[in-house]
Structure 1
Amino acid sequence: MKRHQETVINADSIKRLCQYEDVSVRHIHEYFKDDLTYILENVNAHALLTELHSRNVLNAEIYLSIKNELGDVSFANRLLEDILRLGRNAVIGFWECLYTLPKEHLHPHLLAILDELNQKGESLVEQILLDKHGHALSPELKDIQEQHKQHLLTKTQTLVEPRPPGTTLGLQKFNINERYVNLVVFSTDQFRQRSQNELIETGAKHEECLKETRMEYISPNKLFRWSQKSQCIPHAVIVSGVPGIGKTTMMQKFVYDWVTGELYQRFAFVFFLKFRELNKKCEVSLEEMILEQCPYLENQLGSILEHPERLLFIFDGLDESIHQMDFRSSKLCTNTKDRKHFGVIAVSLVKQKLLQGCSVLITSRPTRLVSVDISAFQRITEIMGFLHSDRKIYFEHFFDKEEFSEKAFHYVQENPMLYTFCYIPSYCWIVCTVLSMCFKAQPTNNDKLMASLPKTMTQLFVIFVSNILANHSPKRDDVRSTRDLLTSVGWMAEHGVMNHIIVFDERHLRSFNVSNDSHLFSSFMLESGQPPAVDYTFLHLTFQEFFAALVHFISYDSDKLLDSLNKAKSYEDGRAEIFLRFLCGLSDNSTRSMLKSHVKYLSMQASRDVINWIQQKIAEEQRDMKELLNSFYCLYESRNNALVLKCIGSKNDTAFSFVRLNPLDCSVLSFILESRRETEELNLGSCNIQDEGLKKLVPALHTIQNLSLYRNNLTSSSCTHLASGIQNNQTMRKLDLSVNSLEGPDFCHLMTSVQTSQIEELLLRSNNLTDQSYAYLACGIRNNKTLRKLHLSGNNLEGPHLRDLMEALQTSRIEELHLQYSKLTDSSCIHLASGISNNQTLRKFDLSQNNLAGPHFTDLVTAVETSRIEELLMYEIGLTDEHAPLLVSLSNNRNLTHLDLGRNGISDNASGYIRDLIVNTSSLREIRLFSHHMSHTVRRELKNLENLRPDLNVYIE
């Protein structure tokens, strides 16, 4: 695949746009609407509106007000509509503003749009009109096209959902436009072997994608548009996604939109084929494949295939193919009548050896694509699922009443374990279904309702399955047949989990003695195809993992359970992670109890075996933090506080530094910390938890004595959460918030909580703090009687509020104050001197890497003379020989034991003063004089002063 070159932004692009007629400008603006909306949601709106205002396109103040009122998404749509309504000059002015934004505001989508304008030129409008109106067809082909569209309409206009447990309803059907919710799709480059369960890994990746606003978003109408990466209009496209994320439904909507004229009318005929159905074929020709699906095309098929550039072939579910697809093979098919293996035909279409000029769209799970040569594809994408706003829309569609949809969505949002996987549409359906059951069971008693709602994945699926079992048969005593079916299905499910099998056929059913003729079987298995070629899948992959775990409690076998646990642990691709979580979740007696009335007996020994195994596993993983985190998820599912204490109770410190933690990881960690009740040290340095992750940790902050949140991309918004956690903690002694960005309006909340805390050491290094923040900081330390060490290095301390901070220092009990590299100047020395002179507790003072040289430096030295400072660090503060006589007066401080004057401009000429300083400061134990301004002879002389006192060290090299 060609790699794209950097797009050059110049005036020619706008000139080209100006050459189009009014109607063409309108077409182009509408054509790029999805891209422009995404750009507007992610660029600096203030900068753009200011530029538009300067060009008299619109009033910036009015539109900033509209933005605050509507929010990013609605505002973007409103602005684009208004620009279009204002006419040609406004549209061109808008585009000019986009391209004249400062380079840091340019978005990859903007560069891609520019590239498409440059590359397509005059043909772009022709392409837009072709996608809108399609090709001129002969009357015969037009008639058959209408028949074909009608055929596809009947197949795609209805969305089908499984029937809810506890009802006698059949499959639920909805008009696709009423029920379909958009999925977010991003461009990707490659597929690698996964080290985590694919649902878990994609969930974490989904959160990262939502935070990374500069990724290339691919809307459906962009799949076959110009690709900046491959520098062509793609003819072969991959859409990947984890099970249940909506690949097939997205393709259904894609075909429906083509049928109804909303999308890609450049394709005169679209063929929608599924690998699962093609698995039954041995050798077949392309024409036979088409005619089996669309027999009415037989008389016109030759004419249809004469124009490959008008054809789109969609192959859904490559991961469900039982055969490998070799895109490197040279044994390809070139004739539509030749009978070949269907995989060969699909590869031949992709590689343009068959029907050159046609387009191909293939969907697959990412795991299958690891072993596939994807270089034959010009656009590679991955479905990330629902955006946060789309999840809410899904809930609104599912529940009839707004009251229920809001209650359900709020509950799930507050439960990260349930909410995280709601990026997957089918998982959303499971969550909504279970919550609707709970609402119906407890319509008025809110306390009972809250107690009945699921809090873990295991509880979610236990409630779902319990409802299936409670309503599958009028014979309430038919327990044996239920146990038999769950046992056989469970062993089949486990076989699938361990071997990456999600599609089962009659052979699998026979092998595991599964009876498929009961109402219960059809309640959690989906059937597709026609006899004898029928396939079965679980409602969702997670159902399969749940039944795989449940079988060990229904049909307990010690050896089988231990073997499964050890196998699950050994898989490096994480295929059994959720299976393990379900086993631990089911080890909890209260969670299991919901199923007992339906199956009578669930093994207690299985529970004990799982608990013993997880204890042993955690004991072995104390140094592998990623594996330990996976085990924490298992403990979270168990909801067993006593088990947490057994497993890690004696471990008083927890360090996940440099392990990236997402918000769900933080929720799990919060549960562990709360269960443990007291943690001496929690080190989350460089974990990138960000504001959302910190919010999840707040419930556990009261248990921690020493907390490090160093370099976590925290902002001012985090201060409110931190304040809440600190206010409830009277045991916290050390808080490290270094290398974040806490400057902002909420910093005051953090300082308010510090006033009444028991914190002894507070590290705020490199937080972009400015002068205004020091007014709040002054209040924080003035009333705190425990703070001993304060680190403010790497911030901008210069300003009038430094005085407030130094006044607060006078009455504080601070013993160490670090102000290294804080942009202090000579004028700051007046306030610094004031703070020191009236402080009786300060023992260590670090002023290194500030520019303190100047007339007011005298004030600072005078204050140090009478202070109780023992360690004074003035490394690289701009001192020269003229300051050396002043330094001698530091010998008047009888407490001074350590002095750092390194990297200053003191030369041989001032060496006598430095000698006097060393000799006359009787308390001095260590002095550092690293400098390239002194000769080797003078350095040796000063070094020899160590002979004066046995405990004196002079570091000068």
Structure 2
Amino acid sequence: MKRRCECVTEGSDEKGSRTLLNTIYTDLYITEGQSEEVNTQHEVKQLERASKIQNLHDTPIRCHDIFKALPDQHGPIRVVLTNGVAGVGKTFSVQKFTLDWAEGLENQDISVVVLLSFRELNLIRGEQHSLVTLLHVFHPTLQKLPAENLAVCKLLFIFDGLDESRLSLDFNDCQIVSDVTQKSSLNVLLTNLIKGNLLPSALVWITSRPAAAYQIPPSCVARVTEVRGFTDAQKEEYFKKRFSDEELSSRIISHIKTSKSLHIMCGIPVFCWITATVLENMLTTEQREELPKTMTDMYSQFLLVQTKRKNKYHGQHVSSPQGLMEADREVLLKLGRLAFEHLKKGNIMFYQEDLEQCGLDVTEALVYSGVCTEIFKRESLIFQKPVYCFVHLSIQEFLAAVYVFHCFTSKNTVVFSSLHHFLKRVMEKSLKSKNGHLDLLVRFLHGLSVESNQRLLEGLLGQIEDSKKTTQKVINNLKEISVNINIFHCLMEMNDISVYQEIQEFLKSENRSEKRLSEIQCSALAYMLLMSEEVLDELDLRKYNTTKEGRWRLFPVARNSKNVVHCELSKPHCEVIASALKSNPSHLMDLDLSWNKIGDSGVKHLCAGLENPNCRLEILRLVKCRLSENNWATLISALQSKPSYLIELDLSENEALKDAGAKELCAFLKSSLCRLNTLRSDISFQLRSCRLSEISCGSLVSALKSNPSHLIELDLSGNNLKESDVQQLKEFVKSPDYKLETLRSVDCNCESNCCQQ
């Protein structure tokens, strides 16, 4: 295990490129828990979110400590699931854990570490194995370990790369296997190992990209961790370690700080390496090109640099970038086709037959994997069957964009009248994706339409007539569509910063409410406020002079706000609210959803947020939300599910509350989990909308007697209650034994000091 893990490759597996892990390893930012919505966003968006929150919150944990319980945790941690976007360093963390164990430095209570990758397991997925024979196949040295000793030894199974798995794990309907010598399919074997039916004493560590993590049921996982990559300080540490020339490292660090998108992407170690490769080449040679400012600029230069290196290695010399690209055009476009076809399928691992289907000769691919490995690399031979992958998902997406752009210019795709029409159709298609898996591809396509990148990659992309005029038409189209934040990113890739500048001016303005905001400006403003390290005190959508659609574009800012008021909700906005309440950390403390017909799905999302341990909501207003009886039961159940931080709950003008709902609410007041200070069941003198009777008053009396220390204000106005109905409640106001300070009940004609103090 020491020999296997002590050397690693950084973006390349060519001869002589392997490096001692301990010489380059930089501690990654690993936190317990998982960011909300990681399964439904493109990984670049997840990285943008992580780049902000890692600088503000959370205490990172060392990879060596992931099986160690925190002071407030009870019981052993047997199964750990570690999430992280592609290239963020999950495998390096696994190798560092294993290496330090093998060298006797950490976790010496573990007897055996069994390191298995899903890409290896894929190759024998059709075979039948017992746990014993599986160990013997991948770790022959364990043949000396008797089967009966497996239960005595403390084993750790590490399954790396769940997102690359081609196995079908079924945790609901699975054959039970508890004997380490019993043969079964790999699916059944792994499922039983994770569930604890098989070798329950063993520890299990699974790594995955976020979108695949759902395959493991939460009930099977004792701890979820997230690798968020480099912090800002660690980014600088990386470049300083890589370059002994301090001036060079300082220039590179200064440059990436000038571009928000480049700086965010450098949270991924692989992108730091790409950036270092490009900028070192440009800053140490006599190139006169402007340094890359966008992601498309960076990847275009990267493709150029690596192809030059390959040609130099083979003794080829091409004087111009265009000639260079034409010489390598055929192979690069085949790689681009492979990238695009499998991006559509969600594949990042390829086998020989996949290459052949795209017209790639294996020897051609090996030229790029053996020398130009920074673009495409071949994984080590497993059972003599090579496995291929791009060094990083973003490189696959870039080459896919190059291929698609080439298809347009060479008319090998559906004929469009113009480039701006073509890009508009591509954008519209990407917007239909639920998880945004085409977002980065679309950003690259727009970046490739820029004249400077067309000139750089002319041998690959072909020519576009009247480039400047076309670029302006594309920009105008984007501003007209203005559906989501990716359009803002596409504008940035096209070097159009007009929207960004307009928002900067808006934020500096003293009369913001007078300035009319377009929908694209609202999307851009939402992005900037979400990425801000400063949490917004209040999100009041009425203060923004824009359309209803524009206000809806601003609503995601709720995730970075303490107080949300006066909002008109649609179904997606309820999901945003749930996300804000679940966020780690959650900033939302005051939520006013009044006068919105939330509906069953909205209540479901709201309750999911209220039940989450991260929720810190103190004030919840649901005035006239037209909730049904079932909604009340669900809501009150959610409030009772964990210790509540609520100090005020406003349920005014909800006719379906009635006595039955009040009874459920009183059960919450009796609960030791309740620390509610204010309960207003009606603040309107116009409608007696909650339909409460003396029965509800009796329930409230019982609740206060049971748990007298919480309720300090009670408003029962508008419920047609008699003075006799509220008499006992009045006595609570006068009694020093109760905290009730204010009681309002207009219908009993009692607004004197006896009812309100």
TM value normalised by structure 2: 0.61
**In the alignment, residue 120 of structure 2 is paired with which amino acid?**
E
2:70 aligned with 1:208, yes or no?
no
> What secondary structure does 1:403 align onto?
helix
RMSD over aligned Cα atoms = 3.7
2:358 aligned with 1:515, yes or no?
no
What is residue 906 of structure 1 aligned with on the other side?
none
The correspondence for 1:591, drawn from 449, 453, 477, is 453
What is residue 528 of structure 1 aligned with on the other side?
379
- Any conservation in 2 of the 1:549–1:579 contact (CA below 8 Å)? yes
The correspondence for 2:150, drawn from 287, 296, 305, is 305
TM value normalised by structure 1: 0.49
**Structure with max Cα Rg:** 1
Measured at CA, do residues 564 and 600 of structure 1 come closer, stay the same or move farther in structure 2, by a change above 3 Å? closer
What is residue 161 of structure 1 aligned with on the other side?
10
CA distance in 2, matches of 1:542, 1:605: 29
CA distance in 2, matches of 1:607, 1:288: 64
What is residue 522 of structure 2 aligned with on the other side?
656
Instruction: Kindly provide the CA deviation profile for residues 695-718 of structure 1, in whole angstroms up to 9, marking residues without a partner as x.
Output: xxxxxxxxxxxxxxxxxxxxxxxx
From the two aligned structures, give the one with the greater helix fraction.
Answer: 1
> What secondary structure does 1:354 align onto?
coil
CA distance in 2, matches of 1:295, 1:605: 64
In the alignment, structure 1 segments of 5+ residues that lack a partner are: 1-151, 443-447, 646-650, 668-678, 692-738, 740-931, 933-957
**In the alignment, residue 253 of structure 1 is paired with which amino acid?**
K
What is residue 262 of structure 1 aligned with on the other side?
105
2:269 aligned with 1:425, yes or no?
yes
2:395 aligned with 1:543, yes or no?
yes
Please report how far the alpha carbon of residue 686 of structure 1 lies from its aligned counterpart in structure 2 after TM superposition: 9.8
Please report how far the alpha carbon of residue 293 of structure 1 lies from its aligned counterpart in structure 2 after TM superposition: 2.3
**In the alignment, residue 368 of structure 1 is paired with which amino acid?**
A
What is residue 295 of structure 2 aligned with on the other side?
457
What is residue 287 of structure 1 aligned with on the other side?
132
- Any conservation in 2 of the 1:662–1:689 contact (CA below 8 Å)? no
What is residue 343 of structure 2 aligned with on the other side?
497
Instruction: Kindly provide the CA deviation profile for residues 160-204 of structure 1, in whole angstroms up to 9, marking residues without a partner as x.
Output: 12359xxxx745222211100001111116875644312222321
The correspondence for 1:636, drawn from 492, 504, 512, is 492
- Any conservation in 1 of the 2:526–2:556 contact (CA below 8 Å)? yes
Measured at CA, do residues 662 and 503 of structure 1 come closer, stay the same or move farther in structure 2, by a change above 3 Å? farther
The correspondence for 1:342, drawn from 186, 189, 198, is 186
> What secondary structure does 2:331 align onto?
helix
CA distance in 1, matches of 2:206, 2:171: 13
Measured at CA, do residues 588 and 480 of structure 1 come closer, stay the same or move farther in structure 2, by a change above 3 Å? closer
Please report how far the alpha carbon of residue 390 of structure 1 lies from its aligned counterpart in structure 2 after TM superposition: 1.2
- Any conservation in 1 of the 2:79–2:194 contact (CA below 8 Å)? yes
Please report how far the alpha carbon of residue 662 of structure 1 lies from its aligned counterpart in structure 2 after TM superposition: 4.6
**In the alignment, residue 661 of structure 1 is paired with which amino acid?**
Y
What is residue 309 of structure 2 aligned with on the other side?
471
Please report how far the alpha carbon of residue 371 of structure 1 lies from its aligned counterpart in structure 2 after TM superposition: 4.4
Instruction: Kindly provide the CA deviation profile for residues 130-184 of structure 1, in whole angstroms up to 9, marking residues without a partner as x.
Output: xxxxxxxxxxxxxxxxxxxxxx1111111212359xxxx7452222111000011
Instruction: Kindly provide the CA deviation profile for residues 334-387 of structure 1, in whole angstroms up to 9, marking residues without a partner as x.
Output: 222222222322221121111121111010111011343121110111111111
CA distance in 2, matches of 1:478, 1:636: 28
**In the alignment, residue 231 of structure 2 is paired with which amino acid?**
L
Q: Give the length in aligned residue pairs.
A: 509
- Any conservation in 2 of the 1:230–1:379 contact (CA below 8 Å)? no
Measured at CA, do residues 170 and 435 of structure 1 come closer, stay the same or move farther in structure 2, by a change above 3 Å? farther
Correspondence list, 1:312-391, <5 A: 312-391=156-235
**In the alignment, residue 537 of structure 1 is paired with which amino acid?**
C
CA distance in 2, matches of 1:172, 1:317: 23
The correspondence for 2:120, drawn from 277, 280, 299, is 277
> What secondary structure does 2:225 align onto?
strand
What is residue 174 of structure 1 aligned with on the other side?
19
Correspondence list, 1:496-895, <5 A: 496-518=342-364, 519-520=367-368, 522=370, 523=372, 524-530=375-381, 532-556=384-408, 557=411, 558-559=413-414, 564-596=426-458, 598-599=459-460, 601-604=462-465, 615-621=476-482, 624=483, 627=484, 629-640=485-496, 653-654=517-518, 656=522, 660-662=526-528, 687=557
- Any conservation in 2 of the 1:418–1:457 contact (CA below 8 Å)? yes
Instruction: Kindly provide the CA deviation profile for residues 596-643 of structure 1, in whole angstroms up to 9, marking residues without a partner as x.
Output: 2x548345599988875664453233xx4xx1x321110110114799
What is residue 243 of structure 1 aligned with on the other side?
86
Between the two structures, name the one with larger relative contact order (CA 8 Å, sep ≥ 6). 2
Please report how far the alpha carbon of residue 277 of structure 1 lies from its aligned counterpart in structure 2 after TM superposition: 0.6
CA distance in 2, matches of 1:501, 1:242: 15
**In the alignment, residue 403 of structure 2 is paired with which amino acid?**
V
What is residue 613 of structure 2 aligned with on the other side?
none
Please report how far the alpha carbon of residue 278 of structure 1 lies from its aligned counterpart in structure 2 after TM superposition: 0.5
> What secondary structure does 1:199 align onto?
helix
**In the alignment, residue 551 of structure 1 is paired with which amino acid?**
Y
CA distance in 2, matches of 1:159, 1:340: 34
> What secondary structure does 1:574 align onto?
coil
Query: Structure 1 residues 290-299 or 417-426, which shifts more?
Result: 290-299
Please report how far the alpha carbon of residue 296 of structure 1 lies from its aligned counterpart in structure 2 after TM superposition: 2.4
What is residue 407 of structure 1 aligned with on the other side?
251
**In the alignment, residue 567 of structure 1 is paired with which amino acid?**
K
CA distance in 1, matches of 2:60, 2:392: 26
CA distance in 1, matches of 2:35, 2:191: 19
Instruction: Kindly provide the CA deviation profile for residues 855-894 of structure 1, in whole angstroms up to 9, marking residues without a partner as x.
Output: xxxxxxxxxxxxxxxxxxxxxxxxxxxxxxxxxxxxxxxx
Please report how far the alpha carbon of residue 490 of structure 1 lies from its aligned counterpart in structure 2 after TM superposition: 1.2
- Any conservation in 1 of the 2:426–2:442 contact (CA below 8 Å)? no
CA distance in 1, matches of 2:393, 2:292: 19
Measured at CA, do residues 539 and 496 of structure 1 come closer, stay the same or move farther in structure 2, by a change above 3 Å? same
Please report how far the alpha carbon of residue 509 of structure 1 lies from its aligned counterpart in structure 2 after TM superposition: 0.9
- Any conservation in 1 of the 2:39–2:210 contact (CA below 8 Å)? no
**In the alignment, residue 29 of structure 2 is paired with which amino acid?**
V
CA distance in 1, matches of 2:294, 2:310: 25
Measured at CA, do residues 153 and 537 of structure 1 come closer, stay the same or move farther in structure 2, by a change above 3 Å? same
Measured at CA, do residues 312 and 191 of structure 1 come closer, stay the same or move farther in structure 2, by a change above 3 Å? farther
Measured at CA, do residues 277 and 620 of structure 1 come closer, stay the same or move farther in structure 2, by a change above 3 Å? same
Measured at CA, do residues 462 and 379 of structure 1 come closer, stay the same or move farther in structure 2, by a change above 3 Å? same
Instruction: Kindly provide the CA deviation profile for residues 86-115 of structure 1, in whole angstroms up to 9, marking residues without a partner as x.
Output: xxxxxxxxxxxxxxxxxxxxxxxxxxxxxx
- Any conservation in 2 of the 1:565–1:580 contact (CA below 8 Å)? yes
**In the alignment, residue 300 of structure 1 is paired with which amino acid?**
L
Measured at CA, do residues 305 and 454 of structure 1 come closer, stay the same or move farther in structure 2, by a change above 3 Å? same
> What secondary structure does 2:211 align onto?
helix
**In the alignment, residue 601 of structure 1 is paired with which amino acid?**
G
- Any conservation in 1 of the 2:155–2:203 contact (CA below 8 Å)? yes
CA distance in 1, matches of 2:269, 2:198: 36
What is residue 730 of structure 2 aligned with on the other side?
none
CA distance in 2, matches of 1:605, 1:689: 43
CA distance in 2, matches of 1:239, 1:690: 25
Measured at CA, do residues 387 and 549 of structure 1 come closer, stay the same or move farther in structure 2, by a change above 3 Å? same
What is residue 223 of structure 1 aligned with on the other side?
66
User: Aligned residues: percent identity?
Assistant: 25
